[in-house]
Amino acid sequence: MIVIIDYGVGNLHSIKSALDYLKIENKVSKDIDEILNADGLILPGVGAFGDAMENLTNTGLIPTIRKFVESGKKLLGICLGAQLLYEKSFELGEYEGLGFIKGEVIPFKGLIDKELKIPHMGWNELIFNKNDKILKYIKEKEQVYYVHSYFIKSEGTEVIASSEYDINVPGIVCYENIYGMQFHPEKSGITGLNLLKAFGELI
């Protein structure tokens, strides 16, 4: 059973629909026992980093998510949910993240060609950085769908696949039992479904 964490932010039902299509048992929940007893967790996210962290704090679920991660079971962050896995974000201020992975979230503005649009929005190909079981059903240069104005900056050792948007943009990351996808697999056609299928087999 995969639990999609309901904390008032995120594209919950699109993710649920994708998992339903794949016949992966799942539910949307904010119940502490259901989260702790899940085989895998998905942390979704749409909107601003600070608001998302405030919502997570207000639900009281952060200690529960930490306990789940410490158990060694798999967690997947999607879009903003992937950014929340890191230490800090500079989106509309400075905010602390969950800190599971070393690194921070910074704006594209001032770092990419002025002719390129922000947000980075649309289809972009994935370039593989290293082998990982999450990639088992896809091939390099398949395309996924991004919508974001801020991106992950780190030492890069956790980056499995990335995309180019004038600069190198981490697309899929993994640190120990924690995965993140900056793009929306639930909006990325067969490629996204194959990534979710692979995650389902990891739990």
- Tell me the catalytic residues: 79, 184, 186
Cα separation of 115 and 166, whole Å?
10
CA gap 80, 116 in Å, rounded = 21
Listed in sequence order, the DSSP H helices in the chain are: 12-21, 32-37, 49-59, 62-70, 80-83, 189-202
DSSP letter assigned to residue 30: -
Q: How far apart are CA 131 and CA 48, in angstroms?
A: 31
Q: What are the residues facing 3 on neighbouring strands?
A: 27, 41
- Cβ atoms of 159 and 51 closer than 8 Å: no
The Cβ of residue 17 has, within 10 Å, a number of other Cβ atoms equal to 13
What would you report as the CA-atom Rg of the chain, rounded to the nearest whole angstrom? 16
**53, 96 Cβ separation under 8 angstroms:** yes
